[in-house]
Structure 1
């Protein structure tokens, strides 16, 4: 017998009940939006630090992590909606949580500032992670429940030239990790996330974290390092708009949308070097005939030395192949060796 879901009992025919649910959720959403936008509200506080350096914005917004009465009131209101009707959906944006992994609620997301309530089930961080991710910006994390977990701290050196757009994989400093220590309930972690990262392991119970991340646009890419060796393994564009476009291009490539080749070609002129190379890789995988002229131009004139070398190496590889048909998965995978693979950005840390 097939197990029945709670959604099998959804009151499809009870229009009055469904309307009551919608009205209650809408009223709660409107109340939260008004409170956030009013003087002293969360979004008003975020707007007040627009244009400030990331470290300044973080310092001004940290009080929202120190006094969490606003968060408790919001969660109580959400629970009240569910108590009134289990089919209500509180107006809170979910993030992650697939397959029993880490997830949470996005409480604010505006102008490069995000406040997130993160839940990490004990089973999601038993073993130490294999990689550490560094994202340009600043972050603060209030530990609401430690779960008796161990905290691992990772650091990597970044100089001013790299931060200003001169980053190369060849010259990237290795990542160094400190010995694990106990995560403490109530502590506040503050990070320069371009240079510092953290991960958790050995959690005995669920972990609850309140995270404030300030991530302004930056020419420095997101970087992932292998923790065991300290070696750089992945690079991706840190600008959110570039990240969305790279994910869209990957989807279009998987769908075989050769008619969208002009979109791929346009993105090869993106400001982020990792986004430019990602777009070129996807274009070659989609339609190498259409890619050849753009690849030659990139090899000759891209402002980033590693992108030029990667394009030249790929162009040389293409000359060995017949000028017909799709590029094939074999060539697509071989292109990954030319420079660190620019994956979509990894916002959360393990």
Structure 2
């Protein structure tokens, strides 16, 4: 196996790597304490607390005026690129990700508000998008460089598990501004001319509804996910408890069936049924009896289905011992 001399040097002397990383961290710190960056961060905190964008001038200017945005971002990227040129094995000290033609660099965050730099490139896959995703929040974007053909997609609830999708073709170029509000608006980038660089300001809803993904061809619902990170963590914990067969956790899981979002409650019910059928069926029956509960319909359907396959569950409603039916 061949090991590059630069990497070999870092292996032999860890201080070199520490110095390289310290230099990139210094560049970030210098940018953060610049007066205009500090003003932007204070505005981001107000925006996170619910202030209107118009009441946060440093932020509003970033996503409204191309020259303001470019000068602010160039101050960081210019210094960071020079730092990487001198320390090519350093790690950019910002949260970032890349996948199939989209790179995201998160510049700042305050609670549910984030400011990110986004770069679109021609994806490795040439197949056109087959689906579109919607998240609950508001987003404001300004194009700093490049151009692309895109679609503005709006979703209107139709029949159950289906949406009516409306697409409008748009062209994005330097200076283009876009805003999306709520869970029913987003964009799809179809064709990038070289590279497309956007600055995005986003704020998640205070109580975000689940994110959804629809098939473009017919609006069919393909996927639904928790809108809040905390809820996603709870769903993962529920799945883990179920996989570990932690029957001792059934009382705590049953309590989650009664509180929280509909998706979290339904997940808790599923895990409760799997761990203790009697306890889970009692929770299911309570949901089915409450006509005002949003889960009343699905609960009634599932209860009927379970009773048809396992009639012995009818007796479990009055029992309080574990049942592994």
| TM-score category, normalised to shorter length | 0.7 to 0.9
Quick check: 1:129–1:201 contact (8 Å CA) kept in 2? yes
- How much has 1:197 moved relative to structure 2? 1.3
Which residue is 1:153 aligned to?
A: 152
User: Aligned with 2:194: secondary structure?
Assistant: coil
Which stretch shows the higher mean deviation, 311-320 or 278-287?
278-287
User: Aligned with 2:258: secondary structure?
Assistant: coil
**Are residues 297 and 44 of structure 1, via their aligned partners in 2, closer, same or farther at CA, if it must alter by over 3 Å?**
same
The count of corresponding residues between Structure 1 and Structure 2 is: 311
Quick check: 1:102–1:118 contact (8 Å CA) kept in 2? yes
**Are residues 7 and 222 of structure 1, via their aligned partners in 2, closer, same or farther at CA, if it must alter by over 3 Å?**
farther
**Are residues 38 and 63 of structure 1, via their aligned partners in 2, closer, same or farther at CA, if it must alter by over 3 Å?**
closer
Which residue is 2:300 aligned to?
A: 312
**Are residues 62 and 129 of structure 1, via their aligned partners in 2, closer, same or farther at CA, if it must alter by over 3 Å?**
farther
Which residue is 2:23 aligned to?
A: 24
**Could you state the TM-score of these two structures normalised by the residue count of structure 1?**
0.72
Q: How does 1:101-120 map to 2 (within 5 A)?
A: 101-120=101-120
CA–CA distance in 1 between the matches of 2:5 and 2:166? 45
Quick check: 1:106–1:116 contact (8 Å CA) kept in 2? yes
Q: Which has the higher contact order (CA 8 A, sep 6+)?
A: 1
User: Aligned with 2:139: secondary structure?
Assistant: strand
User: Aligned with 1:123: secondary structure?
Assistant: coil
Quick check: 1:223–1:236 contact (8 Å CA) kept in 2? yes
CA–CA distance in 2 between the matches of 1:29 and 1:45? 19
CA–CA distance in 2 between the matches of 1:187 and 1:175? 27
User: Aligned with 2:10: secondary structure?
Assistant: coil
- How much has 1:139 moved relative to structure 2? 1.0
Which residue is 1:340 aligned to?
A: none
TM-superposition CA deviations, 1:30-65 (whole Å, max 9, x none): 43444489751x321112334335665688723123
CA–CA distance in 2 between the matches of 1:203 and 1:264? 47
CA–CA distance in 2 between the matches of 1:271 and 1:137? 19
- How much has 1:286 moved relative to structure 2? 5.6
**Are residues 22 and 3 of structure 1, via their aligned partners in 2, closer, same or farther at CA, if it must alter by over 3 Å?**
closer
User: Aligned with 2:285: secondary structure?
Assistant: helix
CA–CA distance in 2 between the matches of 1:113 and 1:180? 28
User: Aligned with 1:238: secondary structure?
Assistant: coil
User: Aligned with 1:122: secondary structure?
Assistant: coil
4+ long deviations beyond 6 Å: 57-60, 322-327
**Are residues 23 and 236 of structure 1, via their aligned partners in 2, closer, same or farther at CA, if it must alter by over 3 Å?**
closer
User: Aligned with 1:292: secondary structure?
Assistant: helix
- How much has 1:91 moved relative to structure 2? 1.1
CA–CA distance in 2 between the matches of 1:295 and 1:58? 47
Which residue is 1:190 aligned to?
A: 179
**Are residues 146 and 262 of structure 1, via their aligned partners in 2, closer, same or farther at CA, if it must alter by over 3 Å?**
farther
Quick check: 2:53–2:60 contact (8 Å CA) kept in 1? no
Which residue is 1:82 aligned to?
A: 84
Structure 2, unpaired ranges of 5+? 314-321
- How much has 1:18 moved relative to structure 2? 3.3
Q: Given the alignment of the two structures, is residue 246 of structure 1 paired with residue 244 of structure 2, yes or no? A: no
CA–CA distance in 1 between the matches of 2:31 and 2:244? 40
CA–CA distance in 1 between the matches of 2:11 and 2:20? 12
Q: CA RMSD in A?
A: 3.7
**Could you state the TM-score of these two structures normalised by the residue count of structure 2?**
0.77
CA–CA distance in 1 between the matches of 2:256 and 2:103? 31
Quick check: 1:122–1:206 contact (8 Å CA) kept in 2? yes
- How much has 1:214 moved relative to structure 2? 1.6
- How much has 1:150 moved relative to structure 2? 1.9
**Are residues 26 and 210 of structure 1, via their aligned partners in 2, closer, same or farther at CA, if it must alter by over 3 Å?**
closer
Which residue is 2:135 aligned to?
A: 135
- How much has 1:263 moved relative to structure 2? 5.1
Which residue is 2:262 aligned to?
A: 273
Quick check: 1:54–1:216 contact (8 Å CA) kept in 2? no
- How much has 1:198 moved relative to structure 2? 0.9
